[in-house]
Structure 1
Amino acid sequence: MLHSQPPPTIDMENSGYIHILLASAEAMALYRDSINALMASESCEFMVHRFKKGTPQDTIDKAMEGWQVSMSIDREQYRLLHHNLCSKIRERYSRV
């Protein structure tokens, strides 16, 4: 798996949680342009995770399996991207 930075660990945030963005290379390119570019796109090739402090590193590593790129994000970005992904998935399934 490729990483934009070292794999996140639970010690990177003081709030008691770590927030991680996992994505395909294409979705991460959109995110790097801006979070709004990713949210405005049709891409659902990303996932966000939130882990409590003390979560075993192997649990975090397992969640990251299969994704091309990962990076730590802040709580607000987590909230925005989680809502965006849920909305995109709901819209896709309502078309079926």
Structure 2
Amino acid sequence: MARFGGHLISGEPWFPEEGVCCAEQLSAEFRRQMVELVRAGRTPEELAKEFQPSAQSIRTWVRQADLDALAARLNNRPRKCLGYRTPAQCVALTP
């Protein structure tokens, strides 16, 4: 029986003790690995068949990862109006 990200890949439920497979219960590491596989060229539909979360859930994880990367890029860009500090630095200085 193969494993991916600590999860069994055999058609069994992800959480046998609960008997459910709910996208919200999957680990952040598993979601990150799914996003990496999509970015490497696999389709959400292929991954859904192989690993059981729905294709829509996988698409949502990819979209959220893109938004998180954009927010990090914007929050780490120095701004003239902030004295050439980043917004993240200004928030860290706030008591």
TM-score range, shorter chain: 0.3 to 0.5
| Greater strand proportion | 1
Structure of larger gyration radius: 2
Tell me the TM-score normalized by structure 1. Answer: 0.35
| Greater helix proportion | 2
